[in-house]
């Protein structure tokens, strides 16, 4: 199976639509570009022959592919998200392809000094001989998750044009605002009608994931006291300085840049403020819920210490649940992973089962009654200018999807 031409054409088209989500928006979806892409995807699904294509008021795009077998096979869903990360620019994305990667450096932008190397991204070395897609150096690429959109539609087009391939009824779902943790906020699992599902939102070829972080949002509100600096002794409480003190007090061995594998972290990533008021925003992440609680108790202790240190200020800590580790749910349905493992092996790859150091729509869907592990798309370095995806990895991902539907039809 060689879908590389179709996959690149679709990714290039989708990437050029700015779908960056907006954490401050009061609308859903949080940006108009997601609705524009949703309309395009719905039109493409109709064009390839998918049935019951819909786009609802929230921007969710759903469709189905009828079964080609008479036996009652489980209904399987395939999902990807339309938005891109708010952490990097998504306007005027210009994908470029670096054919037949031979190792060494990939110059994304000589002018901007954006260069991929095996040193700053060792995962590249496994992609020698493959075609690598990047953006142009001043934006992200958006393969997270437009590679997933391209893979699902391309694989579904193949299945529709090859009705001799055995599979049960298939469901397609494209979601907005996954990057802000709101992707399935209004998603109707019952109406979607799948028994099990898969998000195609992973990274390098062969990687499959049945665990995510447990995730909470972190907000720290600081009310300071402003007086003239000339008479500030024992009278001034500078909210911005207090915010900075809290951020720098958090231990360096519990940051995303100093942890890996199953280690958790708290990332305090945004400070807004002035003397009278400041706000710190961040995230707390851990695979083990008990360890997540321990991280948060440590942060509470730091905040309590700062209340004593700065008695003229008011400091409030707010923690809110975002999603929970889907691992315990997936483990109750072993066939979901065993069929996926078989499909990856059938594509000639060695399955690499690992926990996600992040989250997917599948985390919340699993707790909504739809067990949903995550499948690779062939990319890496998401959410920034160094993002890349292997076109060959995308091709293997589409092959895995086609193998997977046949596994479920047995």
The active-site residue, picked from 44, 83, 177, 361, is 83
- Choosing from 144, 177, 178, 211, the catalytic residue is 178
Catalytic residue list contains 178:
yes
SS3 for the chain is CCCHHHHHHHHHHHHCCCCECCCCCCCCCCCHHHHHHHHHHHHHHHHCCCEEEEECCCCCEEEEECCCCCCCCCCEEEEEECCECCCCCCCCCCCEEECCCCCCCEEEECCCCEEECCCCCHHHHHHCCCCEEECCCCCCCCHHHHHHHHHHHHHHHHHHHCCCCCCCCEEEEEECCCCCCCCCCCCCHHHHCCCEEEEECCCCCCEEEEECCEEEEEEEEEECECCCHHHCCCCCECHHHHHHHHHHHCCHHHCHHHCCCCCCEEEEEEEEECCCEEEEEEEEEECCHHHHHHHHHHHHHHHHHHHHHCCCCEEEEEEEEEECCCHHHHCCCHHHHHHHHHHHHHCCCCCEEEECCCCCHHHHHHHCCCCCCEECCCEECCCCCCCEEEHHHHHHHHHHHHHHHHHHHC
Active site residue 234: no
Q: Any idea which residues carry the catalytic annotation? A: 83, 178
């Amino acid at each position: 199976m060689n879908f590389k031409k179709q996959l690149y054409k679709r990714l290039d088209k989708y990437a050029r639509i700015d779908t960056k989500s907006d954490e401050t928006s009061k609308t859903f979806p949080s940006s108009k570009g997601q609705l524009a892409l949703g309309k395009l995807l719905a039109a493409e699904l109709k064009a390839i022959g998918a049935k019951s294509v819909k786009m609802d008021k929230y921007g969710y795009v759903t469709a189905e592919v009828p079964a080609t077998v008479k036996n009652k096979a489980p209904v399987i869903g395939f999902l990807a998200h339309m938005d891109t990360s708010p952490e990097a620019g998504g306007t005027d994305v210009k994908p470029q392809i670096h054919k037949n990667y031979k190792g060494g450096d990939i110059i994304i932008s000589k002018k901007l000094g954006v260069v991929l190397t095996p040193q700053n991204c060792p995962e590249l070395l496994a992609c020698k001989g493959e075609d690598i897609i990047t953006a142009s150096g001043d934006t992200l690429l958006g393969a997270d998750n437009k590679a997933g959109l391209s893979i699902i539609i391309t694989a579904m087009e193949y299945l529709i044009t090859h009705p001799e391939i055995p599979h049960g009824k298939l469901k397609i779902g494209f979601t907005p605002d996954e990057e802000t943790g709101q992707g399935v906020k209004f998603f109707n699992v019952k109406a979607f009608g799948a028994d099990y599902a898969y998000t195609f939102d992973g990274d390098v070829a062969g990687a499959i994931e049945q665990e995510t972080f447990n995730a909470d949002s972190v907000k720290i509100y600081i009310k300071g006291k402003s007086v003239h600096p000339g008479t500030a002794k024992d009278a001034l409480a500078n909210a911005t300085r207090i915010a900075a003190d809290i951020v720098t007090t958090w231990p360096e061995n519990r940051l995303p840049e100093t942890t890996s594998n199953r280690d958790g972290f708290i990332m305090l990533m945004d400070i807004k403020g002035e003397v009278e008021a400041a706000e710190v925003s961040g995230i707390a992440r851990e695979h083990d819920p008990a360890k997540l609680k321990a991280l948060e108790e440590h942060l509470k202790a730091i905040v309590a210490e700062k209340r004593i240190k700065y008695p003229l200020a008011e400091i409030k800590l707010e923690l809110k649940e975002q999603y929970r580790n889907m691992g315990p749910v997936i483990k109750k349905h072993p066939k979901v992973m065993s069929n996926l493992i078989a499909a990856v092996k059938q594509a000639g790859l060695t399955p690499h089962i690992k926990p996600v150091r992040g989250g997917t729509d599948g985390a919340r869907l699993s707790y909504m009654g739809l067990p949903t592990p995550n499948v690779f798309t062939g990319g890496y370095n998401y959410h920034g200018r160094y993002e890349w995806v292997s076109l060959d990895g995308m091709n293997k991902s589409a092959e895995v999807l086609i193998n997977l539907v046949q596994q479920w039809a047995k």
